[in-house]
Structure formats: structure tokens, C-alpha cells
Amino acid sequence: MERFPEFVANHLFLFSLLLSILMLLVWNFYGDMLSGVKLLLPDDVTRLINREDAQVIDIRSQKEFESGHIIDAIHINAAELGNQLEKLKKYKDKGVIFCCASGTVSIKEARKLMNEGFEKVYCLKGGILSWQNANLPLTKGAK
């Protein structure tokens, strides 16, 4: 252990790379919790929809939405979310569940909604891909 500082000094680049990788791993595991948005598995989403009448907001592109979306989901393009806040206010008490293709974009958009005063904001963890992997139904067409 007494030679550790010498090792670090001799291999500063490698040690810096190791620290960077460790920080990224920690962020990958705990970053979702730090975002403030509750991530839900597909089973939890179905319970929330059925028991609390939560509304699913699909923020993928129109083409992706039409190729398959969760039943009764509302399509709002992520770029238009700021203009659609009035439309979403009626779901403020019931809860809003965001979903995207893989679950990464929806977290960012959900944070924006939380900044507007929404408290019951959730995200589908893993996005539509996790919904499909759970063998849950999708419906096709525009709504």
C-alpha cells in the first residue's frame, strides 16, 4: 500500500481513466434515482393505469407512435411538450406516465413537467422496448 502513490504518479492517465469509469458506473446505477422521477416497470405502469387512471404520454415520433403504442396513450412529440402543458393539466391529479423508445428521453421530459408543478410524474423504465419484452399489448394507428 505504501507504493500506491508512486503507482498513481507513474500511471496518472490510467488512474484517471479508472476513476472516470467508476464515476460513470455509479452514475449509471444511481443517476435515475437522483433525477427525482420515479421509474416504473411495465407491471407497475399497468397497475397505475388501472387503479389510479393515470395517463400515458408517448413522446416518440409520430411514425413510431403509429407503428405501436400503449392502449389509450396520448401522443405528444417531445419538442412540443412545452406547448401542450394546458392539455396535460387535467391529468395532474391522476398522474402522468411518460414513455419513449428506450426510456432515456422520457426522463428529461418528465423533469420538465415536474418543474411546472406536476407531482405525480412517472416514466416507463426501459421505454416501449421493456413494454414489448414484458409481452404487453400495443395498438397501432394514430390517436
Q: Write the pLDDT tens digit of every residue in 48-101.
A: 999 999 999 999 999 999 999 999 999 998 888 878 888 888 888 888 999 999
Is residue 99 within 8 A of residue 56, CB to CB? The reply is yes
Look up the pTM and report it: 0.76
Domain assignment present for 138? no
The count of structural domains within the chain is 2
Domain assignment present for 44? yes
Domain assignment present for 140? no
Amino acid in position 114: M
- Name the band, by pLDDT with cuts 50, 70 and 90, for residue 31: low
Indicate if 21 and 59 belong to the same structural domain: no
Q: Which residue is associated with the grid cell 422496448?
A: 129
Q: Which domain holds residue 22?
A: 4-33
Amino acid in position 128: I
Indicate if 54 and 24 belong to the same structural domain: no
* Residues 67/92/134/58 CA torsion (nearest 10 deg): 20
- Name the band, by pLDDT with cuts 50, 70 and 90, for residue 23: very high
> What are the grid coordinates assigned to 8, written together?
498513481
